[in-house]
Amino acid sequence: MPGAPGGGPRYDSSVTDLSSERAGAGPARDSPADRAAVQAAAEFLDAVSSVRRAARRAVRGSWLTEPLPPAQSELLRLAARIPRLTVAEAAQELRLAPNTVSTLIGKLADRGLLKRVPSSTDGRSVLLEVTPKARRRLAEWRDLRAELAGRALAGLTGQDRAALAAAVPAMLRLAERMETPPG
């Protein structure tokens, strides 16, 4: 398959009819509108994944600090976003096993990025606290990522920039709908 713009791999977003393979796994995709929605969703998610990978590669290529593995980075961002998070809450939010989250916490604590603080209300649990070193690291990553993405956006046409800006609210609504259990 030919490479995507920027030299990365291009991913095939073709979707096969899964209704025969996964009977009862979800709504039937029999109508042309349903098939078109599935195809559009697959293409959209492939594009989002490509942008995320490109952003990560760009930052890692420009950043002087050793990058964290993605799972550690995700946990650190979560702990920064939700102060006084417990291990169980982090595991639930990240959809990981609690022992996996505990291992990630240990690795981040060893790097001086996360602290375990005993809970004042439950002696059996600890609360996660992001260190000042981690806050600086997160801010540097976020700022560099925004700067590099801003440069890339500046190279697009005004029409492309407007289309991307207009898509943001719909993308956030889509994310919210995908987090809501069907019912």
Q: How confident is the model at residue 149 (pLDDT cuts 50, 70, 90)?
A: very high
Q: What is the pLDDT of residue 2?
A: 41
Residue 172, pLDDT above cutoff 80: yes
Q: What is the pLDDT of residue 29?
A: 60
Residues 28-47 have pLDDT tens digits of 567 888 899 999 999 999 99
Mean pLDDT, the chain, rounded, equals: 85
Residues 78-101 have pLDDT tens digits of 999 999 999 999 999 999 999 999
Q: Quote the CA–CA distance of 114 and 128 in Å, as a whole number.
A: 7
Kindly report the backbone phi and psi dihedral angles of residue 118, in degrees, each rounded to the nearest multiple of 5, phi listed first: -60, 140
Q: How far is CA 77 from the centre of its chain?
A: 10
- 70-130 folds as Arc Repressor Mutant, subunit A (1.10.10)
Per the listing, tokens 């490109």 go with 54
Q: What is the pLDDT of residue 18?
A: 43
> What are the CB-based long-range contacts (under 8 Å, 24+) for 48-56?
48/171, 49/11, 50/4, 50/8, 50/11, 53/8, 54/6, 54/8, 55/145, 55/148, 55/149
Residue 8, pLDDT above cutoff 60: no
Q: How confident is the model at residue 168 (pLDDT cuts 50, 70, 90)?
A: very high
Q: How confident is the model at residue 26 (pLDDT cuts 50, 70, 90)?
A: low
Q: E-strand spans in 112-165?
A: 114-118, 126-130
Per the listing, tokens 């604590």 go with 109
Name 126's bridge partners. 118
Q: Quote the CA–CA distance of 76 and 65 in Å, as a whole number.
A: 16
Kindly report the backbone phi and psi dihedral angles of residue 102, in degrees, each rounded to the nearest multiple of 5, phi listed first: -60, -40
Over residues 117-127, the mean pLDDT reads: 87
Please name the residues in contact with 147: beta carbons below 8 A apart, sequence gap of 6 or more.
Answer: none
